[in-house]
């Protein structure tokens, strides 16, 4: 109840209108998302009743709103294609099964405190994945806006030709058919219903303009009302503009997903993808509002709330529920101080389902497609791609491969490929960490870091800093650079000081390489010392029996201590020290 605590009677004049505004956003968007997934409109509307109430009760966040949203619904639509066609009653059953699996996985993540795994879904993977989904969904909505009638012979011929091309491409390159769908879309343009195009494009324009100039007014609802009136007054439904049709009235009833047990295994990757997207988006959204209001929400409890509302949704005929940034922002703009508006919104939607479903039947599907197209357009992360290109090209290519993979191979395989690419990129960077040779300034005031590959050292002392944990992927680099520094030195090296501040860990491969380095240095009569080692690294070195080879008397808290010990051993004078320079290397 943390999200509901603190709401007082004096707050109701602000909270109740906020809840009605939320309901006005949920009604058209949830119907549109249900159509996007190829499901009955009731699946979207029911998600605004029981799941919305349960999330409000169990969530620890006071600002985040739970509702079906574009990324998860697009993933759901792409997944259901392989299980049941649009119009097949089994399609809803598989959608409910995904909701049930997702809810159970949320419970697992909550119980084992796995919310930290959201950090492993990189920004590039997430941006590419969501961009790919956004492009695919936007294309599908354009197809619905065109309102092509397949009843005419010419249109049927174009549709048949497009289907043949679709099948040929899908067979030859093993894709989900997105690029073939683009060809089919272009082929269908001459046969578009231009009344439907006007309704869809007009809806899109109204939503975008109102979002920019009147953001506090629910643009989707206004656009839907205007276009429904236009269709009814001009009789456009008799000129080929399709409408939503009859919606069963009444509240959701208890249901059970009817899916063969073996198919739950096939649905598991989709459920994992739903949880991964929710982990990344929801927890980032929660943290953003926590920073804004100085609160501290329990991320684990938020995952539990998503588990509750999705399991309840599976048993009440609802779409999968996830985080909704747009609805959360609308509630924040309306001054909502907690989850009470969600309860008001759920009550409002319940009243609509009982008394006003006849009015919903007249909604034009092209207008709903325009609303969804506007919503998913925000998913195309052009700014993110531009930033990746300028800041780190490797992440740009990871995001681009993920986006193209979503279109060419489907969302689930694309996520796997992009995750592997991101992991390979991470290992590549970790295998080539920054390394430096620290050289003492002439006046002895500080140490100056130089690239390890720079000119050989003329002194008999080398201070070498390795900028990463020592493990299997970078151990060979460590060995190569140490050997090169010692062999190429113009003066025979007497001491090698390893600055291991960044070497916070060492695996067995790294330990083996370090043992070889120590043996080689011993053969060359080079003394090896460690500086700035943390206690955990020393414990590992002791466990690997490496500390004995170095010696406790050659472990120094700072590089300065190591340099003084070297001078004392060879009775060398210290350089005349000047004033310490700002930003100099830490002693």
pLDDT (0 to 100) of residue 394: 82
Q: Are residues 297 and 445 in the same domain?
A: no
Q: In which residue ranges of the chain is pLDDT below 50?
A: 150-176, 578, 580-585
User: Which range of residues forms the domain containing residue 68?
Assistant: 14-147+192-424
Q: Residue 402: is it exposed, middle or buried by C-beta count within 10 angstroms (0-12/13-18/19+)?
A: buried
Q: Are residues 407 and 458 in the same domain?
A: no
Instruction: Please provide the distance, in angstroms rounded to a whole number, between the alpha carbons at the two ends of the chain.
Output: 52
Q: Which of 424, 443, 478 is the last residue of a domain?
A: 424
Residue 527: give its domain's CATH number. 3.30.750.24
Q: Where are the beta strands (DSSP E) in 28-173?
A: 65-67
Question: Is 85:96 a contact under the CB 8 Å cutoff?
Answer: no
Q: Are residues 402 and 515 in the same domain?
A: no
The whole-angstrom separation of Cα 525 and Cα 519 is 10
pLDDT (0 to 100) of residue 332: 76
Domain presence at residue 528: yes
Q: Return the closest-CA partner of residue 335 out of 61, 49, 62.
A: 62
pLDDT (0 to 100) of residue 577: 53
Domain presence at residue 579: no
The whole-angstrom separation of Cα 226 and Cα 234 is 12
Domain presence at residue 398: yes
Residue 82: count other Cβ atoms within 10 Å of its Cβ.
13
pLDDT (0 to 100) of residue 412: 67
Q: Are residues 288 and 349 in the same domain?
A: yes
Question: Is 313:321 a contact under the CB 8 Å cutoff?
Answer: yes
Q: Which of 371, 401, 424 is the last residue of a domain?
A: 424
pLDDT (0 to 100) of residue 159: 39
pLDDT (0 to 100) of residue 155: 38
pLDDT (0 to 100) of residue 582: 40
Q: Are residues 418 and 439 in the same domain?
A: no
The whole-angstrom separation of Cα 286 and Cα 273 is 20
Domain presence at residue 359: yes
The whole-angstrom separation of Cα 457 and Cα 491 is 8
The whole-angstrom separation of Cα 328 and Cα 380 is 20
The whole-angstrom separation of Cα 167 and Cα 161 is 10
Length of the chain: 587
Q: Are residues 394 and 457 in the same domain?
A: no
Q: Are residues 99 and 224 in the same domain?
A: yes
Domain presence at residue 584: no
Q: Give 436-472 pLDDT, tens digit per residue.
A: 999 888 777 788 888 776 766 667 899 999 999 999 9
* Number of separate domains in the chain: 2
Q: Give 398-411 pLDDT, tens digit per residue.
A: 888 888 888 888 77
Question: Is 527:490 a contact under the CB 8 Å cutoff?
Answer: no
Domain presence at residue 186: no
Q: Are residues 267 and 392 in the same domain?
A: yes
Q: Are residues 492 and 377 in the same domain?
A: no
């Amino acid at each position: 109840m943390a999200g509901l605590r603190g709401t007082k009677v004096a707050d109701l004049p602000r909270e109740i209108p906020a809840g009605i505004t939320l309901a006005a956003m949920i009604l058209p968007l949830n119907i549109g998302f249900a159509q996007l997934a190829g499901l009955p409109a009731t699946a979207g509307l029911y998600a605004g009743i029981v799941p919305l109430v349960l999330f409000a009760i169990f969530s620890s966040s006071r600002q985040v709103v739970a509702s079906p949203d574009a990324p998860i619904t697009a993933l759901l639509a792409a997944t259901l294609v392989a299980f049941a066609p649009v119009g097949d009653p089994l399609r809803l059953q598989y959608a409910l099964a995904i909701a049930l699996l997702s809810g159970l996985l949320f419970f697992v993540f909550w119980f084992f405190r796995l919310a930290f795994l959201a950090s492993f879904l990189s920004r590039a993977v997430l941006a590419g994945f969501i961009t790919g989904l956004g492009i695919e969904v936007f294309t599908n909505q354009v197809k619905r806006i065109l309102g092509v009638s397949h009843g005419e012979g010419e249109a049927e011929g174009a549709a048949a030709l497009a289907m043949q091309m679709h099948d040929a491409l899908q067979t030859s390159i093993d894709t989900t058919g997105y690029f073939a769908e683009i060809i089919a879309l272009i082929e269908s343009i001459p046969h578009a219903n231009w009344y439907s195009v006007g309704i869809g494009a007009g809806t899109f324009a109204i939503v975008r303009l109102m979002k920019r100039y009147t953001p506090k007014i629910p643009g989707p609802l206004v656009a839907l009302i205007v276009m429904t009136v236009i269709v009814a007054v001009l009789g456009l439904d008799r000129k080929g503009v399709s409408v939503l049709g009859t919606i069963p009235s009444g509240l959701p009833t208890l249901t059970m997903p009817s899916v063969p047990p073996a198919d739950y295994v096939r649905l598991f990757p989709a459920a994992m993808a739903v949880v991964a997207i929710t982990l990344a988006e929801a927890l980032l959204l929660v943290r953003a509002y926590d920073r804004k209001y100085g609160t501290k929400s329990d991320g684990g409890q938020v995952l539990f709330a998503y588990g509750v509302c999705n399991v309840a949704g599976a048993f009440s005929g609802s779409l999968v529920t996830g985080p909704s940034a747009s609805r959360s922002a609308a509630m924040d703009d309306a001054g909502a101080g907690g989850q009470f508006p969600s309860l008001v919104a759920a009550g409002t939607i319940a009243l609509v389902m009982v008394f006003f479903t006849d009015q919903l039947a007249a909604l034009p599907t092209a207008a709903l497609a325009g609303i969804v197209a506007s919503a998913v357009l925000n998913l195309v992360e052009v700014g993110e791609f531009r930033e990746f290109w300028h800041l780190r090209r490797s992440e740009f290519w990871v995001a681009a491969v993920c986006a193209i993979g979503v279109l060419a191979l489907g969302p689930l395989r694309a996520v796997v490929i992009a995750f592997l690419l991101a992991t390979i990129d991470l290992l590549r960077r970790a295998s080539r960490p920054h390394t430096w040779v620290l050289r003492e300034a002439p006046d002895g005031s500080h140490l100056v870091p130089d690239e390890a590959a720079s000119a050989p050292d003329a002194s008999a002392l080398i201070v070498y800093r390795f900028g990463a944990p020592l493990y299997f992927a970078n151990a060979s680099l460590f060995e190569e650079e140490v050997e090169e520094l010692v062999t190429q030195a113009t003066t025979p090296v007497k001491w090698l000081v390893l600055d291991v501040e960044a070497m916070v860990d060492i695996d067995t491969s790294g330990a083996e390489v370090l043992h070889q380095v120590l043996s080689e240095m011993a053969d060359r009569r080079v003394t090896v010392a460690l500086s700035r080692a943390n206690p955990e690294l020393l414990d590992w070195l002791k466990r690997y029996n490496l500390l004995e080879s170095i010696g406790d008397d050659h472990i120094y808290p700072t590089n300065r201590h190591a340099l003084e010990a070297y001078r004392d051993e060879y009775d060398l004078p210290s350089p005349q020290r000047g004033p310490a320079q700002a930003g100099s290397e830490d002693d």
